[in-house]
Structure 1
């Protein structure tokens, strides 16, 4: 069931090795194209810019409510635009929910740095899930790929596939762990601008190459996949 759920999610994201698409096409599809990139990046970017530009020299704080309002407003605008165009709204709604939850953390505490807490929690959960799945021999990458390639869990009997899926899961766990290791010190230091910038830099710029590596590795395991 887990493999089917992961495989279905990967297929919806355009990451089906059986379709024989180019690596560039798959990575771009996984990011959601230009609209997906904007929906992912723009709310956070606007938050950082609005907060940084309005920082008061005496207090050292920016206009938190303005930054939060603009960030959530942009996420809401993307969702409304998709609804009007009758397009899939999953990515936009996810972005809106994420922006809303993050804004709630910051608003209720009055601390701009708390806007990043949901992201820390998400990275910790994903990283743990990938790490545990690797060490118990049920790599999440393997489960998704096994469903997509129509072999279920048969890949576990192949040492080569198990080894590749193990290291792919470790790589993804490493990405989420790196985000926490690099960003948390700035959170505790209260540096909103640096924290927000690092979140953007360690977002899609690291996600895209790892998607490409994962795609190429999985395709190499199934050389007879139709092109």
Structure 2
């Protein structure tokens, strides 16, 4: 799902929010708030299945996307465990991330996720190589988590909870949920659930990081388990919690 620029029609991935219009239908050809929010949902990678529900696996990047997020760290851990040599371990992790970029080139698929992975692994490798500490390979993830938590909390504070921006368009609610205090509360709660998932990662992993090399195996293992699998679980719980209440069916009127 992407937002087109200029006057091109936008593709909402099958999601048509109520009252949504293309940028060309707004004054001065400027995108409306609905357009911007729909674009945000698309860029966040949220996908829905044929039944109209969030596709958890696709939203996490699919099998390939999950592998891209897991394997470089796993390769780093395995090589370092057997070699106890930081240099080859970092090179192996970078090579694993680069392979996924080549695979996407061959598949002619968007490179954004793979390139972001290479950049992330590159920064992590630079940090670990600079300090000479293997555990510093994982420190970038802590700051990324903190940034996400801050953004999510701000979205709740200003009454634009991220869960509403994402799920609202999957459910064809557009931005109408903001006019309903009950729906707004539900989406705030859904966003807090995602915050809790990210905070749990820090609570578990930061103490392992400060254990140094002694906690490296446990840190790397929890990074794998609390990465995509925990994200999918948190997203699923947030989806269930924010589910709209069933509307009572109106009794059919019979003719006199």
Instruction: With the length of structure 1 as denominator, give the TM-score of the two structures.
Output: 0.83
Contact kept in structure 1, 2:191 and 2:238, CA below 8 Å: no
SS of alignment partner, residue 221 of structure 1? coil
From 51, 62, 67, give the equivalent of 1:20.
51
Cα deviation 1:84-123 (Å, max 9, x = unaligned): 2212222211211111111111112211111112100100
Structure number with bigger Rg: 2
CA 1:145–1:33 in 2, change beyond 3 Å: closer, same or farther?
closer
Query: In the aligned structure 1, how far is the partner of 2:48 from the partner of 2:246?
Result: 16
Note if 1:221 corresponds to 2:244: yes
Paired position in structure 2 for 1:202:
226
Matched, 1:6 2:40: yes
Q: Is 1:82 aligned to residue 115 of structure 2?
A: no
Q: Distance in 2 between matches of 1:223 and 1:94?
A: 40
Runs of 5+ unmatched residues, structure 2: 1-32, 248-256
What CA distance in whole angstroms lies between the structure 1 residues aligned with 2:149 and 2:110?
A: 27
Q: Is the 8 A contact 2:167 2:239 kept in 1?
A: no
Aligned residue number for residue 57 of structure 1: none
- Given that 1:187 and 1:195 are in contact with CA atoms closer than 8 Å, whether structure 2 keeps it comes out as yes
Instruction: Looking at secondary structure, tell me which structure has more helix per residue.
Output: 1
| Structure 1, unaligned runs of 5 or more | 55-61
How big is the shift at 1:21? 4.1
How well do the aligned residues superpose, as a CA RMSD in angstroms? 2.2
Does the CA-based 8 Å contact 1:75-1:96 persist in structure 2?
Answer: yes
Give, in whole Å, the separation in 1 of the partners of 2:182 and 2:174: 16
For 2:46 and 2:205, the matched residues in 1 are separated by 27
1:20 Cα deviation after fit: 2.9
CA gap of 1:140–1:196, structure 2 versus 1, over 3 A, is: same
